[in-house]
Amino acid sequence: MPVLCSTCTEKRAVLKRPKTGHSICKECFFWAFEEEVHQTIVAANLFKAGETVGIAASGGKDSTVLAHVMKLLNERYSYGLEMMLLSVDEGITGYRDDSLETVKRNQQQYELPLKIVSYEELYGWTMDAIVKQVGLKNNCTFCGVFRRQALDRGAIMLKVDKICTGHNADDIAETVLMNVLRGDIARLRRCTAISTSSEGDGVVPRCKPLKYAYEKEIVMYAYFKKLDYFSTECIYSPNAYRGHARTFLKDLESIRPSTIIDIIHSGENLSIRDGVKMPVQGTCSKCGYISSQTLCKSCVLLEGLNRGLPKLGIGKHHRLHDKIIANQPLTEKEERKLKVVDI
């Protein structure tokens, strides 16, 4: 006897929802998934009619599902949003060039304007060149910092009011865990927020409409909807620490599926004791981007690359930043310390 869908009780169930464990038919799954994203958007008041929204698009499953669902909900519920795709080209041969082809097809399929900003044009460095200099251990630090700023710069060029990103529930739970493990209180407090307000000039507000969507359901949605997405991992993806947090989370999820949502709720409900020192946000003295130090992380990393001192922005070398700003020469010992890369 075929199992019937627990929602419509008419059609045959073709999948078991990872989030609820319910057996469900394809149509009811699509509807439930889309409605949950809609509820997330409405409950958090993510958008206002008339706004222009940039969808951060990498060609991967999350951002492809995000673009698809945002377009669909915008029409179904008349959000009144203008939408465009915004992509970052990190300059990773054999990975990003291929995934950007997917984004270009998505642009046609969804009939949305697309803007691509590249590390090469913004920073004068591709990730291929960065990896050649810094090796494969800290490359994601460079890439993550540069991407954050690149998205803001692209958003400003496009004049969008908001950026939405494809972060899903698993990503957020993973980040909560990592911040707990690292004792990063400032990030821990921020990382579960569904949206950030404009933190200063040059920073465009961001939001995460897929915050409560499970990764497994995103994959199922993309698969059953036959969406066109790119599923290869980055060739420079070591990120061992995040990898362990991810495996740990997946192990917990296999025992108790609600683990992901439970961790997010724990993160949301943490409160920080009064008197805990938090970084004070200011602006970078070089480029004007938001920063809690004199120089923003991006400028420090870039300076390190340009001077052939890749470790400048990795670890705590704040004392040396002042010397760099003042264009003072470094001692031989300091140079040595910043040159060594552990590959």
Chain residues that interact with ligand SF4, rule: CB under 6 A = 90, 127, 139-140, 143-144, 234, 236-237, 239
Per CB under 5 A, contacts with Zn ion among 290-309 are: 296, 299
User: Which span (225-233, 234-242, 268-276, 280-288) binds Zn ion, by CB under 5 A?
Assistant: 280-288
Shortest distance, CB of residue 134 to Zn ion, whole angstroms? 19
Do the bridges between strand 206-207 and strand 195-196 make them parallel or antiparallel, or are there none, so unpaired? antiparallel
Q: Residue 147 carries which side chain, given as an amino acid letter? A: R
Q: Residue 311 carries which side chain, given as an amino acid letter? A: K
Short-list 203, 168, 226, 167, CA closest to 298: 203
Burial of 226 (0-12, 13-18, 19+ CB in 10 A): exposed
Taking the mean position of all CA atoms in its chain, how far away is CA 115? 17
Angle between helices 169-182 and 240-255 (to 10 degrees): 120
From ligand SF4, Zn ion, none, interface partner of 338 (C-beta below 5 to 8 A by class)? none
State yes or no: residue 103 binds Zn ion (CB under 5 A).
no
Token output for 174: 């993973």
Q: Residue 21 carries which side chain, given as an amino acid letter? A: G
CB nearer to ligand SF4: pick between 237 and 285: 237
Separation CA 176–CA 214 (nearest Å): 15
State yes or no: residue 145 binds Zn ion (CB under 5 A).
no
Separation CA 281–CA 166 (nearest Å): 26
Binding mask 70-89 for Zn ion (x = CB under 5 A): --------------------
Hey, how many other C-beta atoms are within 10 angstroms of the C-beta on 220? 21
- CA dihedral over 304, 310, 315, 317, signed as positive or negative: negative
CB nearer to ligand SF4: pick between 99 and 259: 99
Shortest distance, CB of residue 66 to Zn ion, whole angstroms? 29
Please select the residue that binds Zn ion; options are 270, 287, 325, 341, rule is CB under 5 A.
Answer: 287
CB nearer to ligand SF4: pick between 94 and 279: 94
From Zn ion, ligand SF4, none, interface partner of 100 (C-beta below 5 to 8 A by class)? none
DSSP secondary structure code for residue 294 in this structure? S
CB nearer to ligand SF4: pick between 6 and 237: 237
Shortest distance, CB of residue 340 to Zn ion, whole angstroms? 25
Shortest distance, CB of residue 301 to Zn ion, whole angstroms? 10
Shortest distance, CB of residue 147 to ligand SF4, whole angstroms? 7
Token output for 314: 């990795």
CB nearer to ligand SF4: pick between 83 and 127: 127
Shortest distance, CB of residue 151 to ligand SF4, whole angstroms? 13
Separation CA 238–CA 220 (nearest Å): 26
Question: Rounded to the nearest 10 degrees, how much is the dihedral formed by the CA atoms of 222, 223, 226, 231?
Answer: 70
From Zn ion, ligand SF4, none, interface partner of 289 (C-beta below 5 to 8 A by class)? Zn ion
Could you list the residues that contact Zn ion (CB under 5 A)? Answer: 284, 286-287, 289, 296, 299
